[in-house]
Structure 1
Amino acid sequence: MLKNIKYSILELASIAYGNTINNTFERSLDLAQQAEELGYTRFWLAEHHNMISIASSATSVLIGYIAGGTKKIRVGSGGIMLPNHSPLIVAEQFGTLGNLYPERIDLGLGRAPGTDQVTAQAIRPERMQAVYQFPDAVSQIQQYFSDNRGARVRVNVAEGVNVPIYILGSSTDSAYLAAKAGLPYAFASHFAPTHLFEALNIYYNQFQPSEYLDEPYTIAGINVIAADTDQEAERISTTMMRMLLGVLTNNIDYMQPPIEMSPEMRELQQNEAFQRMLTYAFVGSKDTVKRKTEEFIKQTSVNEVIVGSHMFHHEDRINSYRIFAEIMNEN
């Protein structure tokens, strides 16, 4: 069943304690290069702002860096938080990327801020108004990428360039838009699983074929921490748990080294908010992760999974993605 499912990576460029931002970017590139050899379909970069633990802020710049250091893997945004940006500027940036790296650039668009409200206000004071104009902004970008010769405002670097647009969502709103526009849909179930099935049902049932897509195409996010044993994966996962604790308590810090699973950590796992955020966190050995992934695919019928991870040691992360690639290629 898994051999027919595409598998990809969502990268946040998480900064480990003691590492520099430059070193973090170098590790992101190394991961992309390894992923390319392991058969991953795409490597998407997130957009987050004012978070000490995440370096993926200037998303389009990082996409150029990753695409320039790889050869065939698709590279894109997971996503550009469109209300933060002018549609024209997004079209210019991704049109340029599409020219530099033909048939390799994806444009994932979301409407969340990717930060706190104060920072969102600093990014773009009229952002809340732009949130309500999200469907129109998506249409504007599509127009800039089309044959736009009769228009007064054009993006010549984007016209006719093949940069597929994906609608991203963590609730049901974007499912309606993706279905109506006939665009592929990616759901952020790796951190917001609550409305996954409702959103997928809306998208599947209301999908309208378009010039971009004949039938629905879905991507769902999962967290994966795979290791040689369940015990080792559990130990590695304490880095992710401590990051989530920082998010929930508004005390965000750099990624911390893994620790042994303590009674306090196990008690934390039982917290309702933790359990909700970790619904689709697949932690364990190859067999454990395979079983959980197969169950997820069976339940959702998605076409593709996109995998995120927070691991302190780069070697652990490379090993985890290697194991997951093996899972996805087994009969």
Structure 2
Amino acid sequence: MIPKPVAYSILDLALVSENHSLKQTFNNALKLAQHAEDYGYKRYWLAEHHNAENIASTATSVLIGYVAEGTKSIKVGSGGIMLPNHSPLIIAEQFGTLGTLYPNRIDLGLGRAPGTDKETAEAIRTDFMQAAQSFPKEVEKIQTYFSIENEDAQVRATVAEGVEVPIYILGSSTDSAHLAAKKGLPYAFASHFATTHLWDAMAIYRKEFQPSEALEKPYVMAGVNIIIAETDEEADRLATSLIRMIVGIFTGRRAKVQPPTDMTEDLRDIMRNPQVHQMLKYSFIGSKSKVKAQVKEFLEQTKADELIAVTHLYDINDRIRSYKLFAEIMDELN
């Protein structure tokens, strides 16, 4: 058994598969969230990325609204909004509106990275680097805009004041761990791709955590790649789409998600590449029994409070099936 019950959630990029339209992609995101709600997932988060033809979660707050409208109880939010791309005032207004429309269901996860390449980041905001360096102050501005005490200020986000929208700090390095701890906010670490700093970041966050109005004790969410099928062989076959996605990231050729193929020795060699192997360190691929053992070990080691699962597959039905099996695993472990 694991040390304590652990919540489980989904991080989605609204991936665009080959021969799928954007409308299909958005419909599939909603379909997945509806199934996740039925399977007992705590939250469904969308990540902000730009200038990638295989990712459709660019207008993140708009898509959050679409998913929240089509679901009933699951929390929906950002994993995350890349704050240096935006004005804190505008984000407070957008999420204050969402929080009013869907009470106690909207999360605001905030990250510091651009979620894109250097040229696109500059096209989004010419002072991006300056905004990134001011990330702690920008987070503070959002907290102020959500505060009832801001009603006498000259600059207000009136639709956000007093609205319940929890803030989460996202991170892939140790910088964000210090910030989340200092502010007493929950911390979500991107260990589904940024594996190197996971242990240091968790240790810093837990050691330096200062209780706040938002949170009494540390709360760690850890990202994991999950691909589960009926057999190990079928899971390996489905994972070939993920491997080709990773190759696209390293080569700068980000194509739409490709259909799975048989696993070949060449693809296995790619998985053994030191960079790829490190990036996919916390990827649990296989049958239900195999993945259950891996997840149990990961939870025993990290003592994470919540797992946020990322499943990059070509076909929506394979994704839904994998998430169903993962929910079964978490229910059994809990």
Q: Residue 250 of structure 2 is aligned with which of 248, 258, 264?
A: 248
- State the distance in 2 between where 1:265 and 1:136 align: 44
Of residues 165, 183, 206, the one that matches 1:181 is 183
The amino acid across from 2:215 in the alignment is L
The one of 278, 282, 291 aligned to 1:276: 278
Q: Secondary structure at the match of 1:149?
A: helix
**Structure 1 partner of 2:140:** 139
Amino acid at match of 2:85: N
Counterpart residue number, 2:126? 125
Displacement of 1:268 in angstroms is 1.0
Deviations 1:188-218 (A, max 9, x none): 0001110000000000000000111000001
Give the Cα separation in 1 of the matches to 2:179 and 2:269.
Answer: 40
For 1:126, give the aligned amino acid: D
What letter matches 1:59 in structure 2?
T
Offset of residue 263 of structure 1 = 1.3
Within a 5 Å distance, the mapping from 1:1-331 to structure 2 comes to 1=1, 4-147=5-148, 148-331=150-333
Partner Cα separation in structure 2 for residue 270 and residue 194 of structure 1: 17
TM-score normalised over the length of structure 1: 0.99
Secondary structure, aligned partner of 1:224: strand
In the alignment, the residues of structure 2 paired with residue 242 and residue 279 of structure 1 have an alpha-carbon distance, to the nearest angstrom, of 16
Query: How many Å separate the matches in 2 of 1:90 and 1:149?
Result: 17
Tell me which amino acid in the other structure corresponds to 2:242.
M
Question: Would you identify which runs of 4 or more consecutive aligned residues in structure 1 move more than 6 Å?
Answer: none
Quote the Cα distance in structure 1 between the aligned partners of 2:293 and 2:330. Answer: 11
Q: Distance in 2 between matches of 1:134 and 1:266?
A: 40
Could you report, residue by residue, the CA deviation over 1:140-191 in whole angstroms, capped at 9, with x for unpaired residues?
0000000112200111100000000000000000000000000000000001
Equivalent-residue separation in structure 1 for 2:271 and 2:168 (angstroms): 33
Question: Which amino acid letter does the alignment assign opposite residue 197 of structure 1?
Answer: W
Aligned-partner Cα distance in 2 for 1:310–1:13: 10
* Secondary structure in structure 2 of the residue aligned to 1:4: coil
Gaps of 5+ in 1: none
**Other structure's SS at 2:92 match:** helix
Q: Name the CA distance, whole Å, in 2 between partners of 1:173 and 1:224.
A: 26
TM-score, normalisation: structure 2 = 0.98
Aligned length: 331
Quick one: which amino acid aligns to residue 153 of structure 1?
V
Secondary structure in 2 matching 1:205: helix
How much has 1:277 moved relative to structure 2?
1.1
Task: Let me know the Cα RMSD of the aligned residues.
Answer: 0.8
Counterparts of 1:112 and 1:288 in 2: how far apart (Å)?
A: 34
Q: Which runs of 5+ in 2 are unaligned?
A: none
CA drift of 1:87 comes to: 0.2
